Amino acid sequence: MPLFGLIGYPLSHSFSKRYFSEKFERLGLKDHRYDLFELPDIRFFPDLWQKHPDLKGLNVTIPHKQAVIPYLDALDETAREVGAVNTIKKMPDGRLIGYNTDVRGFEQALLRWLPLNYFHKQGFEALVLGTGGASKAVSYVLQQLQIPFWRVSREAAKTGLTYTDLSQKGWGNARLIINTTPLGMSPHTDSTPPLPYHLLDTSFYLYDLVYNPPLSRFLEEGIVRGAKIQNGLEMLYLQAEAAWDIWST
């Protein structure tokens, strides 16, 4: 029985099992199964493959998108350039190959929503909240689309800003704010990145990779001030389809 699944910790928020289970049913793949494998520590990763010899592929989520790389035999070009993995395929010879379908999912979802030509014309910038594996995929896409951006984290970095910087100096020329952190994700729905939300207006675009709940506090702060908003559900579906393309070929 071909087995697929998701590793991360925690996984109570995930829609992936339902998504793939419904997909397998639609495709008539009654012998296929998708499970959630909570791994509090990436050191348990090799044991997972030994316990489940039918495992053919995995999705990877927080906090293992970078930590899993040393356990893989190779990376495809995009995953290597991004420095993060969210999809793994077990090859017929047993090798584990890492891919990054977050790039495809985020880019397609962003281009369907953001008026890219307008952004270029206005010279607007983006802010990427967080420094984890998802932020690396988002940053890669922004580079490809020639949207200047700053990474934002709690601690100062040479190529980034801190939340304190934004609170003190405002948004600058940034109009696209992308949350790649788990803040606001179920079950901790009351949390949100510490930002100067009172300075938002109708010229802003807020994108949250969180999709559960559909409307995070981060997005709510934008709505009440007239900003355009988008959650991460479409990206989830698009990256999942890209993962299936990899597993099924």
DSSP 43: G
DSSP string, 8-31: ES--TT--HHHHHHHHHHHHT-TT
d(C-alpha 213, C-alpha 231), whole Å: 9
State the alpha helices, DSSP H only, in the chain: 16-27, 45-51, 77-82, 102-113, 116-122, 133-144, 163-169, 217-223, 233-247
Give me the phi and psi of 11, to 5 degrees please. -125, 10
> Angle between the 102-113 and 233-247 helix axes, to the nearest 10 degrees?
140
Which sequence positions are flagged as catalytic?
65
DSSP 175: E
d(C-alpha 174, C-alpha 188), whole Å: 27
